[in-house]
Chain A
Amino acid sequence: MPPHALPRVSVGQHSAAGRNGPNQDFHGAMLPAGHLLAAKGIALALVDGIGSSRVSQVASAAAVRGFLDDYYATSEAWSTRRSAERVLGALNAWLHAQNQRGDARFDKDRGYVCTFSALILKGRRLHLLHVGDARIYRVHAQALEQLTQDHRVRVSDEEAYLGRALGIGAHVEIDHHDWEAEPGELYLLATDGAYTHLDAATVHETVAGCGGDLDAAARMLVAQAHDRDSEDDATVQLLRVDALPEPGADALHRQRETLALPPPLAAGMRFEGFTVLRELFVGPRSHVHLARDDATGRHVVLKTPSVDLQDDAAHLDRFVLEEWAARRIDGPHVVKAATAERPRRHLFVALDFVEGQTLAQWMRDHPRPPLEAVRAIVEQAARGLQALHRREMLHRDLRPENLMIDAAGTVTLIDLGSVHVAGLAERLDAPQAPAVEGTLQYAAPELLLGEGASERSDLFALAAIAYQMLTGQLPYGLDAARVRTPADLRRLHCVPLRHHRPELPAWVDAVLYKALQPDAQRRQEAVSEFVHDLRAPGPQFLQRRPVPLAERDPVRFWQGIALLLALAVVVLVALRVLGR
């Protein structure tokens, strides 16, 4: 790998026990190589036990070891924040359970409790995770900038206790922030036994005095803290950012750059160990062919970039991404990557062939489907979406053409070409999910306003499809696709389901109405909630509000008005005639 494809750092660390017994601080750093470095980054963790507890050093060691082991075992698709918070949540639960079993249940001061502070460098970004009273500083030329807050509650000048730490409660709130790292930056992690006795000048002199040897610097800093009457355990970790990956230097990018653009495929052609059988679709974004794998005889779908977008690097990256994502999702409702792990010379995506019809076709064949049929399809599509969401991926282009229904009625999400992977976006320097990728008709309105995509945007698309299956119409017509300003958003008006399907229960309308809210915050929180509501509506959907006749049955309403007018005319004519 070229030197600047991955971040490079120098680390120095040292810990020494204070005057009272065993060292309850614990620290660790993980500098993986190659693949893991790109996928998960470099992590430093620092933990301080509590002096009053005799088992705190066990907690400290477990926290650091557990974090460093488990963090690197989390899904590559997850963002750093999610990975770290999940791991810390589990650690906290374990420590808390230990406390519940022993004496510490009644006296937390004697339990498995510790602070936790970590720095993770992934791609070009540094992530900070923190709970408790250890500190992380950025070392400037003149000063130390404290990046963490002490979770310490001060009772009096002499007395203070930890406000938040691992192991205290069943749940713990972890501080997280992240920022763009700069080459040459120096970070200092220290426990209270060290930082209370160190100042910026000391740190500078020490680091400068040790040349490039950060381990020696850490050792000297700890020694100085103890020289200055620190009685507590003291630990210092130093992290210097030496080099950062150049933007676009990620392995995935480079993988794409080494691949040639494929020639136009045609039936009968041999291509990369496949025999092309026939064209499925040729569009301005991609060409899709059905092919047979010569080695296994299985049918696969080959997707190649269109001529139109062959110069569009971002579009080509999606081809690498699509297969990457398909390999990592395992579920019956999401298309799988065709397993051929052969070296490739061309850029293309090989996916399993899903035989069947698209939902778009299904909707034409079933213009007024029963609710249960719609529910069956929506639930399966939702399971597909959930499989993505669990991996912190967003589909972002859910539309009837991207849902295949096979002969057995199984629904499969195909086309992951617009998928957004949080963990990967961090690596590729694009943490925000960019707005519209998919079809405007099913895009949630917030995307058209340029806000980031979320799981609720996928929910909107799913609900819009459910609405379209039931009624044959889009919930907002084309108005939702024309949203450009927040004012447009407020003007959006969804045609109630009862206008098209008065025989359906009113609560179905209410559930869909909630999922189709233009404001993402007002929708159901997750796809699973929507699906549950669709089968077992909560009381809020069952409340019957009186609907005026004009809205409930406009025809009857206007017929009534016309009848009244006709009567009035008869009366007036009669008066006129009689009045003579």
Chain B
Amino acid sequence: MAYLAPAEFVTKMVDAGESKLLMSTRDTLIRAYMAGAILALAAAFAVTVTVNTGNALVGAMLFPVGFIMLYLLGFDLLTGVFTLAPLAVFDRRPGATWRGVLRNWGLVFAGNFAGALTVAVFMAIIFTFGFSEAPNAIGVKLGHIGEGRTVGYSAHGAAGMLTLFIRAVMCNWMVSTGVVAAMMSTSVSGKAIGMWMPVMIFFYMGFEHSIVNMFLFPTGLMLGGNFTLMDYFIWNELPTVLGNLVGGLTFVGMTLYATHYKTAPKRAAPAASARTEAKSSTRRALA
């Protein structure tokens, strides 16, 4: 199982970010839609496992299969592009602008939401026999997950909002670490292991993931959760998106870029400044 040197996979991250900006609208939407749908399905699966076994750890341990699947199929989650796309702008790749980054985020958000919503409707149909009877045990559980994580936060006011935001930051710190870990290895097994660890952590710890929530809350609303659409957006989805953005960018994207890509001169090396100067001029020259 090959392991890539940090300098190599960080360049790969910047390249990946660049390729997100270069993606056509159609491709961006399709890939985002599929990513949202697969992740939503994995969330439904994890909740089902948790309810059936009564043990949340089992659900969390199995949830990463969805994430691994969608990554290996080359689909894009909003959490991932939050981390990767800005790197192309930091690195001044030709044509990379913040406008392009916002366009990509907007498209991926829309695609993820549509995909998650589709699965939400499908799962609601399954749990209620086409809305012909009351939801089964899993449906009830799904219906009420949303309450604590919307109305629950709003009951605490500003403190609730802060908690929600920090949970979202922590979430994408972990999830983006998973994305990066997948780049470190060249083999499918290596990628899968790399993604599995951080994604399990975020799911078990109950951190707020904007796309998982795009499934949990709409299903909850359909299955009789006691919260409103407005509660969902103001007291969950929007702060979660912002938290995910901050978490992915600060803890993963910018840190790795700063330390492994724009490597500072080694302190012990003599004439270090002269070296880095020569390096920056010939950097990427022969890639």
Contacts and interface: CB of A to CB of B under 8 A. Distances in A.
Contact of A415 (B9, B92, B287): B287
Contact of B285 (A281, A440, A473, A474): A281
Nearest to A351: B286
Contact of B9 (A284, A442, A468, A474): A284
Given A283-B11, A441-B22, A414 B95 contact: no
A196 to B, nearest CB: 60
A402 interface: yes
B281 interface: yes
8 contacts: A288-B287, A357-B281, A360-B94, A440-B22, A441-B95, A474-B95, A481-B22, A482-B23
B193 interface: no
Given A474-B94, A481-B95, A283 B24 contact: no
A414 B287 contact: no
Interface of A: 264, 278-288, 290, 301, 303, 306-308, 310-311, 351, 356-358, 360-361, 364, 399-402, 404, 414-415, 439-442, 468, 473-474, 477-478, 481-484, 488
B285 A283 contact: no
A404 B285 contact: yes
B282 A284 contact: no
Nearest to B13: A284
B21 interface: yes
A391 B166 CA distance: 61
A488 B9 CA distance: 32
A400 B94 CA distance: 9
B94 A307 contact: no
Given A281-B283, A401-B284, A484 B4 contact: no
Nearest to B23: A482
B100 interface: yes
A372 B26 CA distance: 41
B8 A402 contact: no
B141 interface: no
Contacts of B279: 278-280
Contacts, number: 113
A442 to B, nearest CB: 8
A282 B7 CA distance: 6
B186 A311 contact: yes
Contact of A308 (B12, B21, B26): B12
A264 B26 contact: no
Interface string B11-36: 11001000101111111000000000
A484 B27 contact: yes
Query: Contact residue range for chain B?
Result: 35 or more
Nearest to B3: A307
A266 to B, nearest CB: 11
Interface of B: 2-5, 7-9, 11-12, 15, 19, 21-27, 92-96, 100, 186, 275, 279-287
Contacts of B21: 478
Nearest to B26: A484
B281 A358 contact: yes
Nearest to B12: A284
A469 to B, nearest CB: 12
Nearest to B22: A481
Given A477-B95, A478-B100, A482-B24, A358 B284 contact: yes
Given A284-B8, A307-B2, A482 B287 contact: no
Contact of B287 (A281, A364, A468): A281
Contact of B25 (A278, A364, A482): A482
B95 A303 contact: no
Contacts of A483: 24
B30 to A, nearest CB: 11
A474 B93 CA distance: 11
Nearest to A468: B94
A173 to B, nearest CB: 43
Contacts of A287: 8
Given A278-B279, A283-B12, A414-B286, 20 more contacts: A281-B283, A281-B284, A282-B11, A284-B4, A284-B8, A284-B15, A290-B282, A307-B5, A308-B186, A310-B2, A311-B186, A351-B286, A357-B281, A358-B285, A361-B280, A415-B285, A440-B19, A442-B94, A478-B100, A484-B24
